[in-house]
Chain A
Amino acid sequence: MRGVDIPEDGNVLAGVSGADDAGVYRLSGDTALVQTLDFITPIVDDPFTFGRIAAANSLSDVYAMGGTPLTALNIVCFPTSLFSLDRLASILKGGLSAIVEAGAQLLGGHSVDDKELKYGLSVTGLAHPGKLISNRGLRPGDAIILTKALGTGIIATALKAGLVGDETRIPFEKSMAQLNKTAAEVMRNFPVRACTDVTGFGLGGHLKEVLGKDNLIIEIYEDLLPVLPGAIDMASQGMNPAGLYRNRDFVGEMFSSGHARQEICDMVFDPQTSGGLLIALERDVADDLLTALHSAGVSDASLIASVASSKGPSIVLV
């Protein structure tokens, strides 16, 4: 939308001009609408699982803003010439299972005949205008927690190549099918500085966005990066998706890999589907949030990075 003048009334709290995860519109002093829309092409073979993952991926933006999903609409592009309608029914059931778990209501949707299958949701949520969580505002001394393991883009590519066994496929699907609901609920009890969800830009791309032009350095602890089983092996075998290299080029010279092996850098730039929440908060309370996430069952959550003062924005693996 660059170059297009978009008029905003005073109630737009997050709109096109920002880089927030979802749009936010103030309805009253204590209520704001959080709106987002996302759809994806199949990333796994099983239709129910794909539906579930696509819906979890769509709902995630609302959680990242500090909102609660309220209603959802299905978005469907479906090749009726290639697949039976049973397949579509399974996809929608998978999506519904995620909507129900989110505590939201499915109100309807729209479908078109298309050459390529796509599915996702338009989600509307609610938030208190004073309790929105931005994706900016890091300070020196902050710690950063990531709530899901990395590597979904690489494993998805390897899956297409037929190189993935159940020991890799099952945790990969499980991770993407998991909602960020629990992580978001736990996060609410802590003084969170910034939050976003990790998606197609990869961890590195999102860290760049969170940094903006701040004179800060984010030090990623390479040993503490949560990584899906099999992802390192698949990266070393050349199963990196094109998006990974785009993300690496996007972050550019701001990133330095230190002594980390190439496959760890690949994890930093791997585009994620239904990735975890990236939560920044003061170091003093970060351990408590991590413990709370683990006890709530968000078992892959890990304290992956710390923030310090610097001459300019930079990201480094240590």
Chain B
Amino acid sequence: MLHIVDAKGLACPQPVIMAKKALDEHGEIAVLVDNKVSVENLTRFGASRGCAVEVEEFEGGVTEVRLLMGGQAPSVRKESNVAAKAPAGPLVFVFSQDRMGRGDDELGSLLIKSFFHALGELDNVPDTMVFYNSGVKLAAAGSEVLEDLKKLEEQGVDILVCGTCLNYFNIVEGLAAGRVSNMYDIAGAMAGAGRTVMP
């Protein structure tokens, strides 16, 4: 039985807030709205919850947006989520250099920065992050990704930073996120991973 939510005359974000509450309680809802912004936002909200979304326009400018929980595969965002499809075992990210990709170094630095930003937006963060060779610079003072890295650490990500490498670059004192680790632990983390990602 569809639960009706009357959000006519209300501006965003109100209709989405009402839909959120009702969807959690009832699982199948029909939201009545009278502006296009709310229709678009409710459609996005429904997709983010993996709902089937049906939109029907009525006379008088009223639109009904039906959200049916579990009605379709989750949105692209969820599908692309690495952890959702990963085999059992921890998700391990490995950083072997302080930039992303080969080619232009400056571009690589920009890319790694935006990669870390994006990483923080994923629903499932990695279980373990491993840093070796020049990758250790990402975890040291002056790193442009430090804020994002610290946030990941706060979220419970285990951050292993190669001690030999910190010594080699003479930045042991500068370690600002994660813990100094050794090749046994690093090899163990990589060998025991459900999936290893090297950006």
Contacts and interface: CB of A to CB of B under 8 A. Distances in A.
**Do A and B originate from a single complex?**
yes
Interface of A: 157-158, 160-162, 167, 223-227, 229-230, 232-233, 235-242, 245, 261-263, 287, 290-291, 294, 299, 302-303
Contacts of A294: 144
B106 A287 contact: yes
Interface of B: 11-13, 16-17, 35-37, 40-48, 75-77, 106, 110-111, 114, 117, 120-121, 144, 148, 151
A223 B199 CA distance: 14
A208 to B, nearest CB: 20
A220 B62 CA distance: 36
B114 A239 contact: no
A238 to B, nearest CB: 3
A157 B106 contact: no
Given A160-B13, A229-B117, A242-B12, A303 B44 contact: no
A290 B144 CA distance: 14
Given A240-B37, A245-B36, A161 B76 contact: no
B76 A240 contact: no
B77 A161 contact: no
A158 B148 CA distance: 21
A181 to B, nearest CB: 22
A-B pairs, top 9 by smallest CB distance, nearest first, are A238-B45, A238-B41, A161-B13, A238-B44, A242-B37, A236-B48, A238-B16, A232-B121, A161-B17
Contacts of A237: 16, 44-45, 48
A261 B144 CA distance: 26
Contacts of A263: 77
A303 B12 contact: no
Contact of B12 (A157, A233, A236, A302): A157
A65 B43 CA distance: 40
A8 B27 CA distance: 63
Nearest to A240: B41
B50 to A, nearest CB: 12
B144 A299 contact: yes
Contacts of A242: 11-12, 35, 37
A299 B121 CA distance: 19
B13 A157 contact: yes
A246 to B, nearest CB: 9
Contact of B47 (A236, A287, A299): A236
Given A157-B12, A161-B16, A161-B17, A238 B110 contact: no
A228 to B, nearest CB: 9
Nearest to A156: B13
B48 A223 contact: no
A278 to B, nearest CB: 17
Nearest to A230: B121
A141 B17 CA distance: 45
A152 to B, nearest CB: 15
Most buried by B among A242, A294, A302: A242
Nearest to A231: B121
B43 A238 contact: yes
A302 B110 contact: yes
Nearest to A262: B44
B120 A229 contact: yes
B121 A229 contact: yes
Given A235-B44, A238-B44, 9 more contacts: A157-B12, A229-B121, A229-B148, A237-B16, A238-B41, A239-B16, A242-B35, A245-B40, A299-B144
B38 to A, nearest CB: 9
Contacts of B13: 157-158, 160-161, 238-239
Nearest to B151: A167
Given A223-B114, A237-B44, A238-B16, A245 B37 contact: yes
Nearest to B113: A302
12 contacts: A157-B13, A160-B13, A223-B114, A229-B117, A229-B151, A233-B121, A238-B12, A238-B40, A238-B42, A238-B46, A239-B13, A294-B144
B59 to A, nearest CB: 23
